[in-house]
Amino acid sequence: MESTGLSFLRIARRSSFLLLIIVMMSVLITACGPKKKYVGPYLTDDEIAIIKPGDKMFTHVNILAIDKHKLFTDESSISIHPGKHTLFLEAVLDYPFLGKYLYFNQYLTFNAEAGQVYTLHASILPMRDEGFTWITSDQDPDKLIVKKYAMSLIPLSSYP
18-72 pLDDT, tens digit each: 666 777 766 666 554 444 555 566 777 778 899 988 877 778 888 888 888 887 6
Strand order in the sheet with 101-112: 69-70, 59-66, 83-93, 101-112, 154-156
CB 88 within 8 A of CB 62: no
CB 97 within 8 A of CB 125: no
User: Side-chain half-sphere of 70: how many Cα atoms within 13 Å?
Assistant: 1
pLDDT, tens digit, for every residue of 105-141?
999 999 999 999 999 999 888 778 788 899 999 888 8
Q: Are residues 91 and 138 in the same domain?
A: yes
Predicted local distance difference test score (pLDDT) of residue 3: 60
Q: Are residues 84 and 130 in the same domain?
A: yes
Q: How far apart are CA 132 and CA 76, in angstroms?
A: 21
- Domains: count for the chain: 2
CB 118 within 8 A of CB 79: no
Query: Is residue 72 assigned to a domain?
Result: yes
Q: Are residues 56 and 112 in the same domain?
A: yes
pLDDT band with cut points at 50, 70 and 90 for residue 151: confident
User: Side-chain half-sphere of 108: how many Cα atoms within 13 Å?
Assistant: 31
Q: Is the dihedral of CA 107, 109, 113, 118 positive or negative?
A: negative
Q: Are residues 18 and 83 in the same domain?
A: no
Quick check: 76 pLDDT over 80?
no
Full-prediction pTM beyond 0.85?
Answer: no
Q: Are residues 26 and 60 in the same domain?
A: no
Predicted local distance difference test score (pLDDT) of residue 108: 92
> Which residues constitute the domain of residue 126?
45-156
Query: Is residue 74 assigned to a domain?
Result: yes
Nearest Cα neighbor of 146 from 154, 138, 155, 137 is 137
- When comparing pLDDT for 69 and 75, which is higher? 69
Q: Are residues 14 and 58 in the same domain?
A: no
